[in-house]
Structure 1
Amino acid sequence: MHIQATSIEPLLTRILQAPDRAALRTLAMGVPRYQVQWVDAGATGDQVGWRIASISDALTRRAIELAESELGPPPMAFAWVACGSQGRCEQTAHTDQDNALILSQSPGATARDYFLQLARRVTRDLDHCGLHLCTGGVMACNTDWQQPVAVWQDYFLDWIRTPALKSVMLAQNFLDLRTIHGEPALLQSLRGRVMVEARNSTWFLSALAREALKDSPPRSPLWRLGLRCPAWWTSRATPLDLKRRGILPIVSLARLLTVAHGLPALHTRSRLEAAIEGGAISAVAGQELIQAWELITTLRVRQQARFICAGRPPDNLIDGNTLSADERKRLCHAFAQVRFMQRSSGRHYLGGLPI
């Protein structure tokens, strides 16, 4: 069954009209249940990702409005931006928050205190709504990540021109920025300069490629996926992390392709489609990656739905006993395609260095 995009509009309206934080938390607590309902109705991982990101966006906007009602109007224009899975519109019920603030000008002491208080209240409220605090500290309540446009530009240029490991990790996260609330032009002006600089930096593209090759699907997929072992993934075996070994490699490859060719798309499927249209990747290879993306993300949201129904916290692990023989075969093929594209990217961006 195709799930209509408008099916969550009533929920979004209720969130945006929530009178207080308690009402906001009550509405947010239903998100895991909604994921189960959507999966039962035949939703794909992509469809679930868009819907949950839309809910997170609404929760964020309303949390900001509630904070502003207490603190007063902001002292300057700003943009609350999200990165990571929310920025790409690829969230599930098992998620955390990654966000930042872009300010229109350098703040004085009073403005700095205002935005610090705003960010602390909003990130706390989002945490109470199930968008857990980022363990890496990539949040607007971190003063490093509440800066004027000029400082953000300096950040990006430094990351691109001196692509050390930490710099690349930060850059690839913030390359997924999307405005959730406030003035969109602040991020747009920043993105224009950054994308040109990134596209023209061979060093930075090579560093992005290395990140895209860091995690790969299992190196022996025929064995891991049970095509040679009838007792595949018994209860004593370790489940496979679908996010780390399947989803993130595709996310990173899609990001690399769009940055290298100056394409503006953010969502992973949209990035792959734009890469095909722009000639960055062949139609055949691109469609194979899109199909792999659809399969792996859908298997993940189904597994999470099973956990939610069983009263267990959802995660990104998959147990082979939950998959049919056809699903195992298709997953094996998907993993092979991801590894093929990783090898191709390595040859192109890393001068043929072995993967």
Structure 2
Amino acid sequence: MPDTLLPNILDFIAKVDPVDKLPSAMQQAIARAVRITFLGKSDTLPFDLADPERFLYIIRSGTLEQRKQSGVLRARLGPEDLFGFSFLDSTPGNPADCYNVTALENTLLYQVPHSVLRTLLDASPQYANLFASQVQARLQSALNVVWGDQEKGLFVRQVRDIATGTIASAEASATIREVTRAMLHANRTSTAVITEGGKIVGILTDRDVTLRVVAGGISPERPVSEVMSPAPVTIAPDDLVLRAVALMMEHSVRSLPVVEQGRAIGLLTTSHLVQHHRMQALFHIEKIKYCASVDELAALTVERQAIFEALVEGHVRGDTIGLIMAMIMDAMTRRLIEIAIGCFGPPPCDFVWVAAGSQARNEVHMLSDQDNALLLSPSATHSDIGYFRHLAMYVCNALAACGYPLCSGRFMAASPQWCQPLPVWQEYYRKWIGNPEYNRLLNASVFLELRPLYGNGELCAALQHHLLTLIGDNPAFVRSLTREAVTVTPPLGIFKNLVLEKSGDNSKTLDIKRNALTLIVDLARIYGLSAGADQQGTEARFAQANAQGLLSTESHRNILGAYHFLLQMRQNEQCQALRQGQTPSNRIDPTRFGSFERQHLKDAFRIIAELQEFARLRFTLE
């Protein structure tokens, strides 16, 4: 490399992701190794599969198009984009991901020999994932850059960091008096872990003693097993504090034994958490429980936004944020149903209020609207249905007043169609799945995820069992669902300034929900239903499909990496909009992104497109 060109090359590559993450000495070594290649318009980049030398390519100027051997578009790339990662670990003559490259205009390329990269990364392995041949590893490195150890606040600290190391322990055969004495001697701990045969079988808290022993008149000489809380919820020392908070809220408990390898090593209580003021916001679910009116609940909207912003700024994982926001929405819905029942009187028959869509999947974000329904007892009369329609109208309008918009498609319990006895719902599913035309497929897609929130959950369980049975008996339904899911593809053709929308108010923007996240959710639904998954979350469905061999381990890791990255990107954009006093949306402006975001966006889009193709081949027999 002529010395006169070296400063120019170094200045360029030092600003390009992931080279910009490397120390100066490594950047200089890469710059010295660069070979310069020029391609004229329509020229192809020759790949000699027998040549043991491979290159990482950095586009200095111009645009390229990658197509697979089948002719399918893989990606379009522009200045500051890199490619050639997949050849890093491939065997000469048998590349891991073979494709053709054609210049769409005059293009200047920098070629970095893989042999040079390997030497540098072998000497500094902490940077290896930045150049990993597997895209999932590069996406994870992208998340780690944003969510680095030095930036972690209390939200993502480990339980061991704040839990007490003091905990009482006793055998299930011990008396209540013996256990309470052990609690007193263990620095007055509020909780004792009860074991049997070395296994944790229950806990006894000071509240249990007050409510069950003292108030219940139980003799302190009775076995503790008679008054303990069985099958306690526990937490591991390496788990995040945020997960502990989520478990406490979900199970309405105030303490969690910290368990490692089956042995209790400490205790985490709400008092440990509220000492840290940032965590107090997460307990605003307690405030929701005691609100007496819609106005009081609506006043908490600002606090909910503050929680979202704090979670995003704390670099909490996107799926965890979705879970926390879903828990808040659940609590809000339950309280509003209770208030409505107070207004309209006791329900005339059994019912269950179910969440659908993103709320059912525990994937709520700041733009989530209402998707819900009412399932009524088979014995519900016309008069009973009238009661529940009034109740549903009240709750849905109140949710809208509390910051959860009405569903534009009217998929809500307030719509008469979605407030029906169980047999009517069973007939809905029979028609939708037996004859999956477009409109019926749309209805089915919305209500393929149902989660009971209030009432008799057995009604929901019966409907879900009916659904899975119908799907098992009608394989054409999954085929139709797959065909519909792959009609929209991620924007693999983005390059240069990434303009996707050609006109209108949304020009120069990308709808990250429609063009990416919804596609992942659709794929998870297809794989989950095919695997007979009894869980409804996107990650859980992929996990079950992987466990049953429908989804390879590599594809599983790749799609989760893409999912986490895209969730984080959307949440960061929404948080920034809120901070600036703007209305958040699902649209992002890629022209504001640097090479870091562009490169990983394209990696994520390519993963989605490949899994769509796998799904099409597997589930449509095409």
TM-score per shorter chain, which class?
Answer: over 0.9
Deviates more, 1:240-249 or 1:109-118: 109-118
For 1:243 and 1:294, the matched residues in 2 are separated by 13
For residue 597 of structure 2, what is the aligned residue in structure 1?
327
For residue 300 of structure 1, what is the aligned residue in structure 2?
570
Query: CA deviation digits over 1:113-144, x for unaligned, max 9?
Result: 21011001000100001110111111101111
Does residue 530 of structure 2 align to residue 260 of structure 1?
Answer: yes
Q: Decide which structure has greater strand share.
A: 2
For 1:33 and 1:214, the matched residues in 2 are separated by 37
Residue number among 342, 346, 350 corresponding to 2:612 in the alignment: 342
Does residue 308 of structure 2 align to residue 35 of structure 1?
Answer: yes
- Read off the aligned partner of 1:217 and give its amino acid letter: P
Does residue 245 of structure 2 align to residue 245 of structure 1?
Answer: no
Equivalent pairs counted in the alignment come to: 345
For residue 281 of structure 1, what is the aligned residue in structure 2?
551
State the SS of the aligned residue for 2:328. Answer: helix
> What is the Cα deviation at residue 77 of structure 1?
1.2
For 1:33 and 1:235, the matched residues in 2 are separated by 32
- Unmatched runs of 5 consecutive residues or more in structure 1: 224-228
On the 8 A contact 2:375/2:421 being kept in 1, the answer is yes
The 1:302–1:42 alpha-carbon spacing in structure 2 relative to 1, beyond 3 Å, is: same
> What is the Cα deviation at residue 346 of structure 1?
1.1
The 1:197–1:232 alpha-carbon spacing in structure 2 relative to 1, beyond 3 Å, is: closer
Does residue 451 of structure 2 align to residue 178 of structure 1?
Answer: yes
- Read off the aligned partner of 1:318 and give its amino acid letter: I
Residue number among 41, 63, 71 corresponding to 2:336 in the alignment: 63
The equivalences for 1:150-165 within 5 A come to 150-165=423-438
- Read off the aligned partner of 1:141 and give its amino acid letter: A
Query: CA deviation digits over 1:144-165, x for unaligned, max 9?
Result: 1111111111110110001000
For residue 122 of structure 1, what is the aligned residue in structure 2?
395
> What is the Cα deviation at residue 343 of structure 1?
0.8
For 1:109 and 1:183, the matched residues in 2 are separated by 20
- Read off the aligned partner of 1:212 and give its amino acid letter: A
State the SS of the aligned residue for 2:561. Answer: helix
For residue 219 of structure 1, what is the aligned residue in structure 2?
492
On the 8 A contact 1:160/1:201 being kept in 2, the answer is yes
What percent of counterpart residues are identical?
A: 31
The equivalences for 1:76-115 within 5 A come to 76-115=349-388
> What is the Cα deviation at residue 198 of structure 1?
0.8
The 1:215–1:106 alpha-carbon spacing in structure 2 relative to 1, beyond 3 Å, is: farther
Residue number among 295, 308, 312 corresponding to 2:582 in the alignment: 312
Query: CA deviation digits over 1:90-118, x for unaligned, max 9?
Result: 11111210110001124223212210110
Residue number among 204, 207, 210 corresponding to 2:480 in the alignment: 207
C-alpha RMSD of the superposition? 1.8
For residue 141 of structure 1, what is the aligned residue in structure 2?
414
> What is the Cα deviation at residue 219 of structure 1?
3.2
> What is the Cα deviation at residue 234 of structure 1?
11
For 1:129 and 1:214, the matched residues in 2 are separated by 35
Q: Decide which structure has greater helix share.
A: 1
> What is the Cα deviation at residue 217 of structure 1?
0.7
Q: Which has the higher Rg, Structure 1 or Structure 2?
A: 2
On the 8 A contact 1:29/1:130 being kept in 2, the answer is no
For residue 226 of structure 1, what is the aligned residue in structure 2?
none
TM-score normalized by structure 2?
0.54
> What is the Cα deviation at residue 275 of structure 1?
1.3
TM-score normalized by structure 1?
0.93
On the 8 A contact 2:499/2:591 being kept in 1, the answer is yes
State the SS of the aligned residue for 2:299. Answer: helix
For 1:29 and 1:106, the matched residues in 2 are separated by 42
On the 8 A contact 2:501/2:510 being kept in 1, the answer is no
For 1:219 and 1:168, the matched residues in 2 are separated by 27
The 1:121–1:41 alpha-carbon spacing in structure 2 relative to 1, beyond 3 Å, is: same
- Which of the pair has the greater relative contact order for Cα pairs under 8 Å at 6+ separation? 1
Query: CA deviation digits over 1:293-336, x for unaligned, max 9?
Result: 10111100000001001111110011124434222211111110
> What is the Cα deviation at residue 232 of structure 1?
4.8
On the 8 A contact 1:205/1:260 being kept in 2, the answer is yes
For 2:418 and 2:471, the matched residues in 1 are separated by 20
The ranges of structure 1 where at least 4 consecutive aligned residues each deviate by more than 4 angstroms after the TM superposition are: 231-237
- Read off the aligned partner of 1:137 and give its amino acid letter: R
State the SS of the aligned residue for 1:214. Answer: coil
Residue number among 5, 10, 18 corresponding to 2:291 in the alignment: 18
